[in-house]
Structure 1
Amino acid sequence: MKKLKKIIASTLIFTSIFSTTVLAKEASEDLNLIGTSAISVDLETNDIIYAKNIDNQMFPASVTKLMTALLLAENKQKNDLLTYPKEALNEAPFSYGLNVHPVTPGDTFTAANAMDILLLYSGNDIAYMIAKNIGGTVDNFVKMMNDKAKELKMTNTHFVTPNGLDDNINDHLTTSYDLSILLKAVMDNEWTSSILGKKESEVKSTNGPTAKVENRNKILGENGNIGGKTGYTEKAGRCLAAVYERDGRKIATVVLNSEYNLPEDSKVFEDVAKLADYSYNAEKKSLLAKDTELESKTLKYNVFPLLGPERTIRVPVTVKEDVLAYETSLEPEVKYELNDVSAWKLNKNKPIGKVTVKIKDTINQYDLYPTISKMDLVKQNIIVYIVVLAIITALIVIILKFINKRKDRKRRSVRFYR
């Protein structure tokens, strides 16, 4: 039986891979995005709607600050004070202390103001300040970033800086897929998600004047864009991770290494807008059709329960609902697991196994039902049952006749002796 299971399992895996390749195609041919890596994900179902080089490691630039913001939200209260370190003055533009208003080392910011400057203005010095205040040292904070990435299962991510600056750094890397996971975590956090949706904010250090910072996400509020984080370095190209909401449905979009076309700076926003429109219009295609034979299991059974002769029957299985998936460059993995079951207990309305559909890290399972029942066993062996029934009937008739003859003889004997 174990050998039979192994053979069936191997066949099922081969069949599933062969049958699902028709869904896979190069998504990059659909939209012609400038960005060399892109993804869109339904935040409720985790379905990947669009995929282009989603596991290629890339430089994320200031999209990195989403992780810094998440750790700030998890480790500080809004009214907590963060001290501005002198080393923050050495961080490159855009920096609050260099480009908005000078800051004296030792001055403080509330965590709320720091969050606004981090996510709206994308201040590199503020990211450094947050790292130093939470981690004690920037290196400790970066370890916290990487630990959080592991916790979120961002398996292809390695952070080196809290702000995404990558001069003389070659291993500050992530993927568009991993960033979609991070973006979901940020949107699940009430504080960080609310800041991504702000167009502007008035901020200040404790001893400094009030300044206004504006969100660098140019398409915030357009066509359902409810938040996003931009980024740019020469290594990273133009990047944007953004979330859309239309008709109550939220979709995360990430585009990496798009074009930075100054002075308009429009290409990455066009990429993301195009990706969002595509994602909301995309429809799932049939991966496994309901009520069609998907696989089969061969069962042994006795023609008469608990008695011989022994026979085998092929039991096709199916699902009672269409299994749907989006067409992307990702290849679905479909695996079947069929239980050991008595052929005499087959019921078309009782499952005898599961089919598992895995696309990237999203796994869904569906019940598998037999397409035959125990009555089909009866039909398959009807001639045997008729013959056996005829034999039993004949035997009963013979026995009854024998009994009746004995009774007649006994009656005749009684009359004779009278």
Structure 2
Amino acid sequence: MKNFKKSLWTFLILFIVSFNLVWAEDIPNIIGTQAIVYDYETGEIIYTKDIDSKAYPASITKLMTALLLAENFNKNDMLTYTQSAADQPAYSYGKNVEQVLVGDKMSAENAMYALLLYSGNDIAYMIADNVSGDSSKFVDAMNAKAQELGMNDTTFVNPNGLDDNTDEHLTTPYDIALMTKAALGNKWIADTMATKKVTVSTQNSIPREIENRNSNLLDDTDKDGCIGGKTGYTTKAGRCLTAIYHVKIAEEKYRTLIGVVMNSEYNYPEDTIVFEDMNTLMEYGFNKEKDILKRNGDIVKSITASYKAIPFIGPNKTIDIPLIINEDIKYYKTEIEPEIDVKINTFDIWKIDESTPLGTITVKLKDYSKEYKLYSNISSSKLLKDNIIIYVGLGIGVLVLIILLVVIFKKIFGGKKRRYRY
């Protein structure tokens, strides 16, 4: 008995350990406290880690500034370097790369490079002043654009993401994914994010080479891997990164995923942790298989329908109709619970068959949704079988009625003929 108990405990311990190992292998081990993997084409969310909690985005903010620049200027338009731009602290183009004087001019194309590659804090304010007249009005435009994109948990306070003097400049990993999707959809911004190195200048300054701070960025965009994104860091925000990965999954077929990592560690000067986090997430995202929510043939819902056993005259009957899905419903299982909405079509019960859709089931996860048709194994032949006694009784009644009418007919008309012959 002792040996049996010992063996049982050993088995349970091994089972628990092996289960935990399998689970651990399935969940990405990252340093960032918040993260998401988002499918650019479908809007499906593949991985979540506290994606709706608000956090500081740091310089990822500049993607929104880039969107408004692209909406309001062309590449060759000239922007004027303003006093509010000159007042910005270090990690500014005019302080750390090349001196820029107030009133100097820079092309919008060079401004986009300096904003997204070098992440110039001053360039963000220069753009804001040139687009809206001042940074306050520009921030209003940023927040309006955020609402337009569905970034409902985002509040921007400035155009560059510095948060030393505010606790209100906040967003979420999910909202950043939506903003990154919009940025990738703009060719000017997408091309800029994919640029590794470039030379920029103002009208009155010496041209300088700047390099993209996204160290995961591919040297050759024809290869599989990171094709864009935006870095960020402040003491409050920690190390942040949004990134876009483009991978060939079949002949002539590619897949694009967006990843966001927030509040990771900044291991200066190597600065590798957040980029390792992102690669871990992307490896997980591209290899993740979907779970089955509903299987082909599952009954999604049953409805009770009323009908007349004999059309138009009755009697009134009811029947339970199972609504069946004819394909697997698959989804990426995350911390988000899918919302399920079932709608029933208007139909004539005497005309339904197994190929007639009787309704739909829609599965929704955030901004992703997919609709599936619902069918039933009920048909008019089933109704006929269920009411066979009624139909037999009706047939007998009709037959009796016919016989009765024949007898009456013979009595009436048969008697007249006999009198006529007599």
TM-score by length of structure 1 reads 0.89
Given the alignment, which residue of 18, 21, 28 partners 1:31? 28
Q: Which residue of 2 aligns with 1:184?
A: 181
* In 2: Cα distance, 1:229 partner to 1:181 partner: 13
Write out aligned runs for 1:35-50 (5 A).
35-50=32-47
Residues 183-192 or 219-228, more deviating: 219-228
* In 1: Cα distance, 2:333 partner to 2:298 partner: 21
Letter in structure 1 aligned against 2:68: L
Q: Which residue of 1 aligns with 2:336?
A: 330
Write out aligned runs for 1:131-146 (5 A).
131-146=128-143
DSSP-derived class of the 2:309 partner:
strand
Q: CA deviation at 1:360?
A: 1.4
* In 2: Cα distance, 1:199 partner to 1:121 partner: 11
* In 1: Cα distance, 2:25 partner to 2:122 partner: 36
* In 1: Cα distance, 2:140 partner to 2:97 partner: 30
Letter in structure 1 aligned against 2:49: K
Residues 312-321 or 70-79, more deviating: 312-321
DSSP-derived class of the 1:271 partner:
helix
Over 3 Å counting, the alpha-carbon distance change for 1:27 and 1:146 in structure 2 is farther
Deviations 1:70-103 (A, max 9, x none): 1111101111111112332331221111111111
Given the alignment, which residue of 57, 60, 65 partners 2:62? 65
Q: CA deviation at 1:411?
A: 4.3
DSSP-derived class of the 2:239 partner:
strand
Letter in structure 2 aligned against 1:225: C
Write out aligned runs for 1:243-322 (5 A).
243-247=244-248, 248-322=254-328
Q: Which residue of 2 aligns with 1:120?
A: 117
DSSP-derived class of the 1:399 partner:
helix
TM-score by length of structure 2 reads 0.88
Q: Kindly indicate whether the alpha-carbon contact (under 8 Å) linking 1:27 and 1:329 is maintained by their aligned counterparts in 2.
A: no
Q: Kindly indicate whether the alpha-carbon contact (under 8 Å) linking 1:68 and 1:127 is maintained by their aligned counterparts in 2.
A: yes
Letter in structure 1 aligned against 2:91: F
Q: Which residue of 1 aligns with 2:198?
A: 201
Q: Which residue of 2 aligns with 1:5?
A: none
Structure 2 gap ranges (5+): 1-22, 249-253
Q: Kindly indicate whether the alpha-carbon contact (under 8 Å) linking 1:294 and 1:316 is maintained by their aligned counterparts in 2.
A: yes
Q: Which residue of 1 aligns with 2:87?
A: 90
Given the alignment, which residue of 104, 108, 113 partners 1:107? 104
DSSP-derived class of the 1:307 partner:
coil
Given the alignment, which residue of 68, 71, 74 partners 1:74? 71
Write out aligned runs for 1:216-227 (5 A).
216-221=213-218, 223-227=224-228
Q: Kindly indicate whether the alpha-carbon contact (under 8 Å) linking 1:197 and 1:227 is maintained by their aligned counterparts in 2.
A: yes
* In 1: Cα distance, 2:353 partner to 2:415 partner: 53
Q: Kindly indicate whether the alpha-carbon contact (under 8 Å) linking 1:84 and 1:105 is maintained by their aligned counterparts in 2.
A: yes
Deviations 1:301-324 (A, max 9, x none): 111111122111111112222221
DSSP-derived class of the 2:261 partner:
strand
Deviations 1:40-69 (A, max 9, x none): 111111111111111110000000000011
The answer to whether structure 1 residue 155 and structure 2 residue 156 are counterparts is no
Q: Which residue of 1 aligns with 2:377?
A: 371
* In 2: Cα distance, 1:304 partner to 1:53 partner: 59
- What is the total number of aligned residue pairs between the two structures? 391
- Kindly, what percent of the aligned residue pairs are identical? 47
Q: Kindly indicate whether the alpha-carbon contact (under 8 Å) linking 2:29 and 2:280 is maintained by their aligned counterparts in 1.
A: no
Question: Which fold has the larger relative contact order, with Cα–Cα distance below 8 Å and residues 6 or more apart in sequence?
Answer: 1
Deviations 1:4-57 (A, max 9, x none): xxxxxxxxxxxxxxxxxxxxxx99971122111111111111111111111110
Over 3 Å counting, the alpha-carbon distance change for 1:27 and 1:407 in structure 2 is farther
* In 1: Cα distance, 2:297 partner to 2:26 partner: 33
DSSP-derived class of the 1:351 partner:
coil
Residues 71-80 or 350-359, more deviating: 350-359
DSSP-derived class of the 2:117 partner:
helix
The runs of 4+ residues in structure 1 deviating greater than 6 Å are 26-29
Deviations 1:341-384 (A, max 9, x none): 44323333222222221111223222222331222111111121
DSSP-derived class of the 1:257 partner:
strand
* In 1: Cα distance, 2:25 partner to 2:210 partner: 36
* In 1: Cα distance, 2:41 partner to 2:407 partner: 77
Letter in structure 2 aligned against 1:372: I
Over 3 Å counting, the alpha-carbon distance change for 1:223 and 1:262 in structure 2 is farther
Residues 389-398 or 148-157, more deviating: 389-398
